[in-house]
Amino acid sequence: VSLEEQLVAEVPNLRAFARSLAQNHAVADDLVQETILKAWRNLERYQTGTNLRAWLFTILRNTFISLKRKYKREVEDVDGVHAARNVQIAEQDGAMALADFRRALSTLPIEQREAIVLVGAEGFTYDEAAKICGCASGTVKSRVSRARKSLSALLHFEPEDLISNGTTVMPPPVSSRLRP
Residues 90-109 that bind other proteins (CB under 8 A): 97-98, 101-102, 105
Q: Is 49 in the site for other proteins (CB under 8 A)?
A: no
Q: Is 152 in the site for other proteins (CB under 8 A)?
A: yes
Q: Is 40 in the site for other proteins (CB under 8 A)?
A: yes
Give CA separation, 145 vs 111, 140, 152, 159, in Å.
12, 8, 11, 18
Q: Is 42 in the site for other proteins (CB under 8 A)?
A: no
Q: Which is nearer to other proteins, 56 or 105 (CB)?
A: 105
Q: Which is nearer to other proteins, 55 or 128 (CB)?
A: 128
Q: Is 133 in the site for other proteins (CB under 8 A)?
A: no
Give CA separation, 83 vs 44, 74, 75, 118, in Å.
38, 11, 12, 20
